[in-house]
A and B are shown apart, each in its own frame.
Chain A
Amino acid sequence: MKKINEAVEVLKRGGLAVYPTETTYGIGADVTNQKAINKLNKYKQRPFGKPYSVAVANQKMAEEYVELNDTAKRIYKQFLPGPVTVISKGKHKVAKGVESENGSLGIRIPDYPLVIEIIKKLEKPITATSANASYQKRPYKISDILESISDKQKKLIDLIIDVGELPHNEPSTVIDTTMDDPAILRQGEIKFKSENEVLSRGEDETQNLGKELFQKYEKYLGKRPIVFALEGEMGSGKTQFTKGLARAMGVKEEIVSPTYNLVNHYSQIADHQSLDHIDAWRMTDPKELKALELETFVKSKHVVVIEWAEKVADIIKKYRDQAVVVWVRITYGKVANERLISWGNL
């Protein structure tokens, strides 16, 4: 009870509060308070323009801030409260920077009573963004957050509700209901399609997906080699995907196309991790992949990304037992910047 009142006071004043959910720790700010949102921007150090999803107490509250169409209503009925973020047309009742550039807003109703109570008492929605800084690892415990932010960032947090280590659940599934065909923007525990498929609307989002996929398989890091086999047409975004993946791994160097070198190695990463970025475009024979010391990378439990993997599929398949092999397919979408990214374990 005391924690709830404390949190409400902090949020009322425009402060930032770290709170637990059924997915990861989130960081909340009053979405109608511009000062609070500005403070949150400073904390997250995100690229300008990336919107925040918000957490509400119930559907009634949601409808004060977004217009729910039939698709959205059906999803609310079936999945909320729960790990699904539903994007709908916003009513512009929130501070600047919360809704997306085209005016849409993502709503969550976390399946976590403590949070619902806080929101009810505050009588305002709070931001539902994860508590880590951009591209840092998923925060399942408070130390995950604190050890990867600066002192400046630490000072911006006004309250931490620490309930210990959260179960390692996937972040919420994000579904955009504003279009004719609802699109999945992030794949969480809840699946709306029989396969994993996500829509990316630009290079940033493709990079972000690289990060997300890496984080899904992060538990194998150092224990088994992880091979991401990327299949996609010219210009579909394989290298963009790899940029996000590498950044999530902690690689500081710019990831450039390995087409000419055939392999680029990155080993200045924490915990003796290594990333090998291979490009098979110039290979005329799948055996060339073997000659590139792929065997060594696998034995040393590296993370290996192979672009144009379809050219060397036969060789990659041979590593199915030794390594975790994730096959990622990137295809062009309906409009210019869109890509459809699907993946599965080989």
Chain B
Amino acid sequence: MKILAIDTSCDETAAAVTENTKVLSNVVWSQASAHAKFGGVMPSLAQRMHEERIDWVVKKALGKRNLAKDINAIAVTTGPGLSIALGVGINKARHLAIKYKKPLIAVNHIEAHFLSPLANSKTEIKFQVYGLCVSGGNTIFVKINKIGSYEILAQTVDDALGEALDKAARMLWLGYPGGAILEKFTKFGNSKAYSLPIPIVGQEKRKIFTYSGLKSAFYRLVEKEKPLTKEKIYNLAASFQNTAFTHLIRVIRYVLANYKLPTTNYFLVGGGVAVNVELQKRLRKLGKEFGIKLLVPYSKKLCGDNAAMIGVAAFLNPKYIPPSKIDRNPNLSFSKNTI
């Protein structure tokens, strides 16, 4: 089934064409447009003017394909996300669905992150498996009973991991996008140079992720270490990332060790922070302790916000909805067993 997928859940305007779980095209505005040349600038709402971008990304994603003849369904993110942004994608999808008489599919953005490793993947997955979404806006660890049926095992009670990394980068004046630059800097630093408090160490049984305490400890540390030298910045970056990841791994390990779930053999990991090589390494190592293999998206582009994952999720868990009923759901939560 060929799907034209759209995502305007927050900063990005994205469109893609997928065929089952194969990615035929994947267009993300900030990377594909002329603006991409001016990287390093934090996206402002002006750049979130999805209305101006949506036609362009849809056209580019379709390429030579003809909507009427080549596309079988239209999929769009209905939530969670920024309400006004979601509306743009939904309106476009609704309009196209009506104009070309195509079925319309509503997609949960976070579910798409969990399923993003399945894009272009030949790996055969036998459910149940684990899912982890680590992005700027979310940090959720779930058990995937089967596609469409999820159980939250742990999630953040304050900041997401991606957000924590971005904020640490900002405190070190590393520019934008912070998390990615931070990752680069950690390679030159000593992760043990500074000792930062591991969040809820020893209390992992609470099954939460929390970064607000680490954030304030880091703030005070950076203030104390000023004036910052290059060496200090490398070490601070490395120490922060190390502690942030250690916490994540500790909580996940607790869940894996104490839940005695029937053998699952995959970790599906998605979200912007999934590109981080160190994180992948640690997850892979953790997985080995429990006989679980890591599966991440085939390309970096599938980790950040994008529409290809929306197309894949729409194929795997199609939630058809009449155009008259589709609406934005910014609070669409993952707090129920099935979404």
A contact residues vs B (CB 8 Å cutoff) = 203, 233-237, 239-240, 253-254, 256-257, 259-266, 282-285, 287-288, 291-293, 332, 336
* A254 with B215: CB separation less than 8 A: no
* A285 with B219: CB separation less than 8 A: no
* B46 with A285: CB separation less than 8 A: yes
Supply 5 A–B pairs (Cβ within 8 Å), ascending by A: A235-B215, A260-B136, A260-B160, A263-B82, A332-B220
* B160 with A261: CB separation less than 8 A: no
Query: When chains A and B are docked, how far (Å) is the Cα of A308 from the Cα of B229?
Result: 28
* B158 with A256: CB separation less than 8 A: yes
* B216 with A291: CB separation less than 8 A: no
Chain B residue with minimal CB distance to A236? B216
Query: When chains A and B are docked, how far (Å) is the Cα of A285 from the Cα of B212?
Result: 25
Chain B residue with minimal CB distance to A258? B137
Chain B residue with minimal CB distance to A339? B216
Partner of B10, one of A237, A261, A283: A261
> Which of A236, A256, A332 is packed against the most chain B CB atoms within 10 Å?
A256
Q: Decide yes or no whether B167 CB sits under 8 A from chain A.
A: yes
Partner of A284, one of B42, B135, B331, B333: B42
* Shortest beta-carbon distance from B334 to chain A in Å: 12
Q: Decide yes or no whether B80 CB sits under 8 A from chain A.
A: yes
Interface residues on B, range: 35 or more
- List, in ascending order, chain B residues with CB within 8 A of A240's CB: 158, 212
Q: Known contacts being A256-B157, A259-B159, is A288 close to B215, with CB within 8 Å?
A: no
- List, in ascending order, chain A residues with CB within 8 A of B46's CB: 285, 288
Assuming A254-B157, A259-B163, what are 16 further A-B pairs, CB within 8 angstroms? A233-B219, A234-B167, A239-B212, A259-B137, A259-B167, A260-B10, A260-B137, A260-B162, A261-B10, A261-B137, A265-B330, A285-B44, A288-B45, A292-B45, A332-B219, A336-B220
* A256 with B45: CB separation less than 8 A: no
- List, in ascending order, chain B residues with CB within 8 A of A237's CB: 212, 216
B contact residues vs A (CB 8 Å cutoff) = 10, 42-46, 80-84, 135-137, 156-160, 162-163, 167, 170-171, 212-213, 215-220, 330-331, 333, 335
* Shortest beta-carbon distance from B208 to chain A in Å: 9
* A284 with B44: CB separation less than 8 A: yes
Q: Known contacts being A235-B216, A235-B218, A263-B82, is A285 close to B45, with CB within 8 Å?
A: yes
Query: When chains A and B are docked, how far (Å) is the Cα of A327 from the Cα of B100?
Result: 51
* Shortest beta-carbon distance from A203 to chain B in Å: 8
* B83 with A293: CB separation less than 8 A: yes
Partner of B156, one of A256, A284, A336: A256
- List, in ascending order, chain A residues with CB within 8 A of B136's CB: 259-260
- List, in ascending order, chain B residues with CB within 8 A of A239's CB: 158-159, 212
* Shortest beta-carbon distance from A101 to chain B in Å: 18
Query: When chains A and B are docked, how far (Å) is the Cα of A264 from the Cα of B82?
Result: 8
* B219 with A235: CB separation less than 8 A: yes
> Which of A203, A235, A336 is packed against the most chain B CB atoms within 10 Å?
A235
* Shortest beta-carbon distance from A131 to chain B in Å: 30
Chain B residue with minimal CB distance to A285? B44
* Shortest beta-carbon distance from A310 to chain B in Å: 15
* B215 with A234: CB separation less than 8 A: yes
- List, in ascending order, chain A residues with CB within 8 A of B84's CB: 291-293
Partner of B45, one of A203, A259, A260, A283: A283
Query: When chains A and B are docked, how far (Å) is the Cα of A253 from the Cα of B44?
Result: 28
Query: When chains A and B are docked, how far (Å) is the Cα of A237 from the Cα of B216?
Result: 9
Partner of B331, one of A265, A285, A291: A265
Query: When chains A and B are docked, how far (Å) is the Cα of A291 from the Cα of B88?
Result: 14
